[in-house]
Structure 1
Amino acid sequence: MEDLPPEALDRVAAYFQALSEPTRLQLLNRLRTGEHNVGELAQACGCTSANVSRHLAVLMQQGLVEREGRGTAVYYRIADDSVYALCDLVCGNIARQLERGAGGREVFLRAAAPRPARR
Protein backbone atom coordinates (compact mmCIF):
# COMPACT_ATOMS: atom_id res chain seq x y z
CA MET A 1 0.00 0.00 0.00
CA GLU A 2 3.04 2.14 0.07
CA ASP A 3 2.86 5.23 -2.15
CA LEU A 4 -0.72 4.61 -3.25
CA PRO A 5 -2.69 7.79 -3.87
CA PRO A 6 -5.84 8.35 -1.80
CA GLU A 7 -8.06 7.38 -4.78
CA ALA A 8 -6.39 3.97 -4.98
CA LEU A 9 -6.78 3.47 -1.23
CA ASP A 10 -10.48 4.28 -1.60
CA ARG A 11 -10.77 1.52 -4.21
CA VAL A 12 -8.94 -0.95 -1.98
CA ALA A 13 -11.29 -0.11 0.89
CA ALA A 14 -14.34 -0.57 -1.37
CA TYR A 15 -13.01 -3.98 -2.48
CA PHE A 16 -12.64 -5.13 1.13
CA GLN A 17 -16.01 -3.64 2.01
CA ALA A 18 -17.60 -5.82 -0.68
CA LEU A 19 -16.02 -8.84 1.04
CA SER A 20 -17.16 -7.75 4.50
CA GLU A 21 -20.70 -9.09 4.22
CA PRO A 22 -21.31 -12.79 5.08
CA THR A 23 -23.94 -13.31 2.37
CA ARG A 24 -21.57 -12.02 -0.31
CA LEU A 25 -18.88 -14.41 0.93
CA GLN A 26 -21.41 -17.23 0.79
CA LEU A 27 -22.29 -16.27 -2.80
CA LEU A 28 -18.62 -16.23 -3.80
CA ASN A 29 -18.18 -19.64 -2.22
CA ARG A 30 -21.16 -21.00 -4.17
CA LEU A 31 -19.69 -19.62 -7.39
CA ARG A 32 -16.52 -21.67 -6.81
CA THR A 33 -18.41 -24.61 -8.28
CA GLY A 34 -19.25 -22.75 -11.48
CA GLU A 35 -21.78 -20.31 -12.78
CA HIS A 36 -25.28 -20.03 -11.31
CA ASN A 37 -28.36 -17.93 -11.87
CA VAL A 38 -29.95 -15.75 -9.19
CA GLY A 39 -32.65 -18.29 -8.38
CA GLU A 40 -30.12 -21.06 -7.79
CA LEU A 41 -27.99 -18.79 -5.61
CA ALA A 42 -31.01 -17.57 -3.64
CA GLN A 43 -32.13 -21.11 -2.93
CA ALA A 44 -28.64 -22.23 -1.93
CA CYS A 45 -28.11 -19.22 0.37
CA GLY A 46 -31.61 -19.07 1.83
CA CYS A 47 -32.16 -15.49 0.66
CA THR A 48 -34.67 -13.82 -1.60
CA SER A 49 -33.76 -13.32 -5.24
CA ALA A 50 -33.94 -9.55 -4.74
CA ASN A 51 -31.45 -9.74 -1.86
CA VAL A 52 -29.08 -11.93 -3.88
CA SER A 53 -29.32 -9.56 -6.84
CA ARG A 54 -28.34 -6.60 -4.64
CA HIS A 55 -25.33 -8.49 -3.28
CA LEU A 56 -24.27 -9.59 -6.77
CA ALA A 57 -24.46 -5.97 -7.94
CA VAL A 58 -21.94 -4.98 -5.24
CA LEU A 59 -19.65 -7.86 -6.22
CA MET A 60 -19.93 -6.88 -9.89
CA GLN A 61 -19.13 -3.25 -9.11
CA GLN A 62 -15.83 -4.40 -7.57
CA GLY A 63 -15.03 -6.70 -10.50
CA LEU A 64 -15.39 -9.92 -8.50
CA VAL A 65 -18.22 -11.44 -10.55
CA GLU A 66 -19.50 -11.03 -14.06
CA ARG A 67 -22.87 -11.79 -15.59
CA GLU A 68 -24.03 -13.24 -18.85
CA GLY A 69 -27.59 -13.13 -20.14
CA ARG A 70 -28.93 -16.24 -21.85
CA GLY A 71 -32.46 -15.86 -23.07
CA THR A 72 -34.52 -14.86 -20.06
CA ALA A 73 -31.93 -16.05 -17.51
CA VAL A 74 -28.81 -14.30 -16.24
CA TYR A 75 -25.87 -16.36 -15.05
CA TYR A 76 -23.11 -15.18 -12.73
CA ARG A 77 -19.55 -16.43 -12.50
CA ILE A 78 -16.33 -15.41 -10.82
CA ALA A 79 -14.45 -12.72 -12.70
CA ASP A 80 -11.37 -12.69 -10.48
CA ASP A 81 -10.22 -16.06 -9.11
CA SER A 82 -7.60 -14.33 -6.95
CA VAL A 83 -10.35 -13.52 -4.44
CA TYR A 84 -10.28 -17.18 -3.40
CA ALA A 85 -6.60 -17.02 -2.51
CA LEU A 86 -7.33 -13.98 -0.35
CA CYS A 87 -10.35 -15.59 1.34
CA ASP A 88 -8.51 -18.88 1.91
CA LEU A 89 -5.61 -16.99 3.48
CA VAL A 90 -7.92 -15.12 5.85
CA CYS A 91 -10.01 -18.22 6.70
CA GLY A 92 -6.87 -20.24 7.39
CA ASN A 93 -5.56 -17.52 9.68
CA ILE A 94 -8.85 -17.35 11.59
CA ALA A 95 -8.98 -21.15 11.93
CA ARG A 96 -5.46 -21.15 13.42
CA GLN A 97 -6.40 -18.39 15.86
CA LEU A 98 -9.47 -20.33 16.96
CA GLU A 99 -7.49 -23.55 17.37
CA ARG A 100 -5.19 -21.71 19.78
CA GLY A 101 -8.08 -20.11 21.66
CA ALA A 102 -11.13 -21.35 23.50
CA GLY A 103 -13.44 -23.56 21.50
CA GLY A 104 -10.95 -24.39 18.78
CA ARG A 105 -11.84 -25.30 15.25
CA GLU A 106 -15.40 -26.32 16.13
CA VAL A 107 -16.27 -22.67 16.80
CA PHE A 108 -14.96 -21.71 13.38
CA LEU A 109 -16.87 -24.50 11.67
CA ARG A 110 -20.11 -23.52 13.41
CA ALA A 111 -19.56 -19.89 12.43
CA ALA A 112 -18.95 -20.92 8.82
CA ALA A 113 -22.07 -23.11 8.65
CA PRO A 114 -24.99 -21.87 6.53
CA ARG A 115 -27.23 -19.43 8.34
CA PRO A 116 -31.02 -19.50 8.52
CA ALA A 117 -32.80 -17.84 5.64
CA ARG A 118 -32.78 -14.04 5.54
CA ARG A 119 -35.77 -12.38 4.02
Structure 2
Amino acid sequence: MKTRVQELRDWRKEQSQLAQSTISELEELRIARSRNEKNLSELREELHRAEMKESEYTLKLESMTDSIRRELDCEPGVAVSTEMPPLQGVTPKSRVRELERELKIMGPINR
Protein backbone atom coordinates (compact mmCIF):
# COMPACT_ATOMS: atom_id res chain seq x y z
CA MET A 1 0.00 0.00 0.00
CA LYS A 2 2.80 2.41 0.91
CA THR A 3 4.44 1.76 -2.45
CA ARG A 4 1.24 2.53 -4.30
CA VAL A 5 0.81 5.76 -2.35
CA GLN A 6 4.42 6.73 -3.13
CA GLU A 7 3.87 5.90 -6.82
CA LEU A 8 0.79 8.12 -6.88
CA ARG A 9 2.68 10.95 -5.15
CA ASP A 10 5.52 10.65 -7.67
CA TRP A 11 3.04 10.59 -10.55
CA ARG A 12 1.27 13.66 -9.12
CA LYS A 13 4.63 15.45 -8.75
CA GLU A 14 5.53 14.66 -12.37
CA GLN A 15 2.14 15.91 -13.54
CA SER A 16 2.60 19.07 -11.53
CA GLN A 17 6.05 19.70 -13.01
CA LEU A 18 4.72 19.01 -16.49
CA ALA A 19 1.88 21.47 -15.92
CA GLN A 20 4.34 24.12 -14.67
CA SER A 21 6.59 23.69 -17.70
CA THR A 22 3.55 23.87 -20.00
CA ILE A 23 2.40 27.05 -18.27
CA SER A 24 5.88 28.58 -18.67
CA GLU A 25 5.98 27.63 -22.34
CA LEU A 26 2.49 29.06 -22.86
CA GLU A 27 3.52 32.35 -21.24
CA GLU A 28 6.60 32.57 -23.49
CA LEU A 29 4.41 31.93 -26.52
CA ARG A 30 1.96 34.65 -25.41
CA ILE A 31 4.81 37.14 -25.06
CA ALA A 32 6.16 36.18 -28.50
CA ARG A 33 2.68 36.48 -29.99
CA SER A 34 2.22 39.93 -28.48
CA ARG A 35 5.59 41.05 -29.87
CA ASN A 36 4.74 39.61 -33.31
CA GLU A 37 1.33 41.32 -33.33
CA LYS A 38 3.02 44.63 -32.52
CA ASN A 39 5.54 44.10 -35.34
CA LEU A 40 2.74 43.19 -37.73
CA SER A 41 0.84 46.32 -36.79
CA GLU A 42 3.92 48.47 -37.39
CA LEU A 43 4.55 46.80 -40.75
CA ARG A 44 0.94 47.33 -41.81
CA GLU A 45 1.23 50.99 -40.86
CA GLU A 46 4.47 51.30 -42.83
CA LEU A 47 2.87 49.56 -45.82
CA HIS A 48 -0.09 51.95 -45.65
CA ARG A 49 2.25 54.97 -45.62
CA ALA A 50 4.20 53.54 -48.57
CA GLU A 51 0.97 52.95 -50.51
CA MET A 52 -0.13 56.52 -49.79
CA LYS A 53 3.22 57.88 -51.01
CA GLU A 54 3.00 55.71 -54.13
CA SER A 55 -0.49 57.07 -54.85
CA GLU A 56 0.76 60.61 -54.28
CA TYR A 57 3.71 60.12 -56.64
CA THR A 58 1.50 58.48 -59.26
CA LEU A 59 -0.89 61.42 -59.09
CA LYS A 60 1.99 63.91 -59.38
CA LEU A 61 3.41 62.02 -62.36
CA GLU A 62 0.03 62.01 -64.10
CA SER A 63 -0.38 65.71 -63.36
CA MET A 64 3.08 66.52 -64.72
CA THR A 65 2.44 64.41 -67.81
CA ASP A 66 -0.85 66.22 -68.45
CA SER A 67 0.84 69.61 -67.90
CA ILE A 68 3.58 68.76 -70.39
CA ARG A 69 1.05 67.62 -72.97
CA ARG A 70 -1.21 70.63 -72.43
CA GLU A 71 1.38 73.42 -72.02
CA LEU A 72 4.17 72.18 -74.29
CA ASP A 73 1.99 70.28 -76.76
CA CYS A 74 4.30 67.26 -76.79
CA GLU A 75 4.81 63.92 -75.12
CA PRO A 76 6.96 63.72 -71.95
CA GLY A 77 9.57 61.54 -73.67
CA VAL A 78 10.04 64.16 -76.38
CA ALA A 79 10.29 66.95 -73.78
CA VAL A 80 12.96 65.05 -71.83
CA SER A 81 15.05 64.27 -74.92
CA THR A 82 14.88 67.84 -76.24
CA GLU A 83 18.16 69.75 -75.95
CA MET A 84 18.25 72.88 -73.82
CA PRO A 85 18.25 76.10 -75.80
CA PRO A 86 21.55 77.93 -75.71
CA LEU A 87 21.82 80.75 -73.19
CA GLN A 88 23.48 83.88 -74.47
CA GLY A 89 26.54 84.83 -72.49
CA VAL A 90 25.73 82.85 -69.31
CA THR A 91 26.02 79.31 -68.06
CA PRO A 92 22.92 77.42 -66.93
CA LYS A 93 24.10 77.49 -63.30
CA SER A 94 24.63 81.24 -63.30
CA ARG A 95 21.22 81.75 -64.96
CA VAL A 96 19.59 79.65 -62.22
CA ARG A 97 21.35 81.73 -59.55
CA GLU A 98 20.21 84.92 -61.27
CA LEU A 99 16.59 83.75 -61.42
CA GLU A 100 16.66 82.60 -57.78
CA ARG A 101 18.06 85.99 -56.75
CA GLU A 102 15.26 87.76 -58.66
CA LEU A 103 12.65 85.57 -56.97
CA LYS A 104 14.17 86.31 -53.58
CA ILE A 105 14.04 90.05 -54.28
CA MET A 106 10.35 89.78 -55.29
CA GLY A 107 9.61 88.11 -51.97
CA PRO A 108 6.60 85.95 -51.15
CA ILE A 109 3.90 85.89 -53.78
CA ASN A 110 0.15 85.40 -53.20
CA ARG A 111 0.20 85.60 -49.45
The TM-score, its normalising length taken from structure 2, stands at: 0.23
Structure with the greater alpha carbon radius of gyration: 2
User: TM-score, with normalisation over the residues of structure 1?
Assistant: 0.22
Looking at both structures, which has the greater relative contact order when contacts are Cα pairs under 8 Å and sequence separation is at least 6? 1
> Higher helix proportion, which one?
2
